[in-house]
Amino acid sequence: MSPEVTRPDPPYLQIVNHIRNQIRTGQLRPGDRVPSTRQIMEDWHVAMATASRVISSLRSEGLVTAVPGRGTVVADTAHTPRDYAQRIRTTGHIYPPGEYARIVSADLVPAPEQVADALGIEAGTQVIRRHRITYREGDVPVMASTSWLAGELATVAPRLLETERLRQGTPGYIEETTGRRITSGRDQITADAATQEEASALDVAPGSPVLRGRNWMYGRAGEVIEYGEYVVAAGRWETYEYTVE
């Protein structure tokens, strides 16, 4: 069945939201062609001006790009912890097609001060550190990230100390083993330069521009279940949406 325009959002915005969601959930992957203006007109029963505005809006967000001889395709965009959390809730998969991660290390370490502050514990307390590199097709590294979790989880969720990838993702595994469900999160991002270690992980030169982020994932009672830090290689757009009441 063809999708239909409903109210109250403007028709072009409904179509943008639909395609944006397909990109975010991995139904449309980087390099995939997005519907042409003609296809949008036929599928959604809208005018050429509306279909053209859809493509323009997606292009302005950095979600799509024009490729000579191919048309408009999905751009290579950043995927943040928020995106992963939303994707696993909607599709059951933490990574979109064509993207995967390798766990580099998983161990118990004394909590650095910043991590201790984020988790609400004393500095030096034992915490779980899971460090991973995320790749796209062709073994191209695009993100290095570290999850920090309370050390007591090692007893009830021992696989957090294994480097085998968790099919359901770290949040899903914690929910399965402890019943603690992540219900909200907060991200902070900044532009920065890659350290020697980060440059090696992302296969870029030291000092190269990166997007640096950190995130808090909260449970129902407002407790921090997971604190994360990540760096993303330059050239990948990150999109946030909000409503102004």
pLDDT digits (tens, 9 = 90+) for 165-217: 888 888 889 999 999 999 999 999 999 999 999 999 999 999 999 999 999 99
Q: Are residues 89 and 66 in the same domain?
A: no
Q: Which amino acid is at 215?
A: N
Nearest to 99 by CA among 147, 134, 64, 130: 134
Report the C-alpha gap between 91 and 124 in whole angstroms.
38
pLDDT digits (tens, 9 = 90+) for 58-100: 988 888 888 888 889 888 665 666 666 666 566 666 666 677 8
pTM score over 0.85: no
Q: Are residues 100 and 32 in the same domain?
A: no
pLDDT digits (tens, 9 = 90+) for 40-52: 999 999 999 999 9
Q: Are residues 112 and 216 in the same domain?
A: yes
Question: Of 57, 74, 91, at which residue does a domain stop?
Answer: 74
CATH, residue 160: 3.40.1410.10
DSSP per-residue letters across 134-194: EEETTTEEEEEEEEEEETTHHHH-GGGGS-SPPTTHHHHHHHHHH-----EEEEEEEEEE-
Report the C-alpha gap between 169 and 57 in whole angstroms.
32
The yes-or-no verdict on residue 242 having pLDDT over 80 is: no
Of residues 130 and 20, the one with the higher pLDDT is 130
What total number of domains does the chain contain? 2
Tokens of 157: 């969720």
Q: Are residues 94 and 188 in the same domain?
A: yes
Question: In the predicted model, what is the mean pLDDT of residues 130-159?
Answer: 93
Range of the domain at 97: 81-233
Question: In the predicted model, what is the mean pLDDT of residues 25-40?
Answer: 87
Q: Which amino acid is at 207?
A: G
